[in-house]
């Protein structure tokens, strides 16, 4: 089968190769991949700009949907032809305290698709049945390939931040995760959703208006974002701020925009050292928390949301390319020309 393989831990060194179809074990299924989304982390891995050691050679890709091609000997719940999507947690021990408390995404033995084990930029991928989810009939396989980032947004906005009706929420960074977080805040009932972007994000801020944003702001130095925060909660600021951008500057801005006793939720990585005072967290009594990934129950909730047509993805999925177009897809993400780019093997 054809697959996009990263074969050396150096910048570049990635190509389409002909590789064997994965072998499955008794509790696995073999999924024929229909669509795979390109995540912001995929170009980072291409450039070898990640802090974790990739197990090269490695097939990239972790946001996928497809149909079952083959089932293992112990699989009873699934059959050939079922439309499915899958969590990214290809391996975890299932026995440790984190696995036993629905925190298996933090298991020390967790290996994610396209990071620790072969991913889905390929014609077929092996999936353990415990992380499979059925795609509702009303959801296309194209849209189902975006279930993973929608689950990230659900975890941030609903499971962790606890956004509720009447809230005022700021979202920093109008990439796919930022826009999905804005839309999730709308589903949670937030009344004011302000999305902030940097120069170059103009197009994305336009699209944000279709994803729950009640207002958008370009951080180009022409106005003070603190004046935006002053419109809410009697001048105190936003109930919560979601940092979907990552650099130190947005953490600083988050501390300025959030109201006392509010919540900052950091979902974007920012591997550089933070060279600012964190004292506003103390003086404002703010909770700063991080969000990583998702769990089985979140996937089921999100598929209900998608099945009811409550998560429109047409404006988010800007490009559809063949597997061989992976590099063009990575370039579209890096230039911010594309939002969500999906590949079809
Ligand atoms: Zn991702
Ligand atoms: Zn474990």
Domain ranges of the chain: 2-146+313-344, 152-290
**Residues with Cβ within 8 Å of residue 171, at least 6 apart in sequence:** 178, 179, 181, 182, 185, 193, 194, 195, 196, 213, 241, 242, 244
**Residues within 5 Å of ion ligand 1, judged at the Cβ atom:** 39
Architecture of domain 152-290 in this structure: 3-Layer(aba) Sandwich (3.40)
- What percent of the chain stands above pLDDT 90? 96
Q: What are the angstrom distances between the C-alpha of 304 and each of 79, 186, 271, 301? A: 21, 16, 34, 5
The SS3 call for residue 170 is strand
The pLDDT value recorded for residue 22 is 98
Average pLDDT over residues 126-140: 98
Q: Find the helix or strand (DSSP H, E) in which 207 lies.
A: helix 202-208
The pLDDT value recorded for residue 270 is 85
Ligand nearest to C-alpha 38: 1
CB atoms near residue 196 (< 10 Å): 27
Contact predicate 155/293, CB 8 Å = yes
Q: Return d(Cα 300, Cα 186) in angstroms, integer.
A: 19
Q: Return d(Cα 300, Cα 23) in angstroms, integer.
A: 27
- What tens digit of pLDDT does each residue of 109-122 get? 999 999 999 999 99
How much is the pTM? Answer: 0.96
For tokens 């700063």, the residue is: 288
The pLDDT value recorded for residue 271 is 80
Q: How many whole angstroms from 221 Cα to the centroid of ligand 1?
A: 31
| Per-residue pLDDT band at 52 (split at 50, 70, 90) | confident
Contact predicate 70/24, CB 8 Å = yes
The pLDDT value recorded for residue 272 is 85
Q: How many whole angstroms from 40 Cα to the centroid of ligand 1?
A: 7
The answer, yes or no, to whether residue 15 has pLDDT greater than 90, is: yes
Average pLDDT over residues 278-291: 97
- CATH number for region 2-146+313-344: 3.90.180.10
């Amino acid at each position: 089968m054809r697959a996009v393989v990263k074969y050396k831990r150096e910048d570049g060194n990635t190509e389409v190769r002909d590789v064997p179809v994965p072998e499955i074990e008794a509790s696995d299924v073999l999924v024929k991949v229909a669509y795979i989304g390109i995540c912001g982390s995929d170009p980072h891995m291409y450039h070898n700009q990640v802090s974790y050691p990739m197990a090269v050679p490695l097939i990239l890709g972790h946001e996928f949907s497809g149909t079952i091609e083959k089932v293992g000997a112990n699989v009873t719940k699934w059959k050939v032809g079922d439309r499915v999507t899958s969590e990214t947690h290809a391996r975890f021990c299932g026995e440790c305290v984190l696995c036993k408390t629905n925190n298996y995404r933090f298991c020390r033995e967790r290996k994610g698709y396209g990071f620790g084990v072969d991913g889905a930029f390929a014609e077929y991928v092996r999936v353990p049945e415990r992380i499979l989810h059925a795609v509702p009939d009303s959801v296309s396989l194209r849209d189902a390939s975006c279930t993973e980032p929608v689950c990230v947004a659900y975890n941030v906005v609903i499971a962790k931040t606890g956004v509720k009706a009447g809230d005022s929420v700021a979202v920093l960074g109008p990439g796919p995760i930022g826009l999905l977080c804005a839309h999730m805040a709308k589903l949670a009932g937030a009344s004011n959703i302000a999305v902030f972007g940097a120069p170059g994000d103009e197009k994305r801020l336009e699209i944000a208006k279709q994803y729950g944003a009640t207002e958008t702001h370009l951080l180009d130095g022409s106005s003070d974002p603190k004046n935006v925060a002053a419109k809410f909660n009697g001048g105190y600021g936003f109930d919560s701020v979601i940092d979907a951008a990552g650099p130190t500057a947005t953490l600083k801005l988050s501390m300025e925009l959030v109201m006392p006793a509010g919540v900052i939720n950091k979902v974007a990585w920012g591997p550089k050292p933070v060279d600012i005072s964190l004292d506003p967290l103390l003086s404002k009594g703010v909770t700063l928390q991080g969000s990583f990934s998702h769990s089985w129950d979140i996937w089921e909730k999100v598929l209900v949301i998608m099945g009811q047509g409550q998560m429109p993805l047409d404006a988010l999925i800007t490009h559809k390319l063949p597997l061989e177009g992976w590099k063009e897809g990575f370039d579209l993400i890096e230039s911010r020309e594309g939002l969500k780019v999906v590949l079809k093997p």
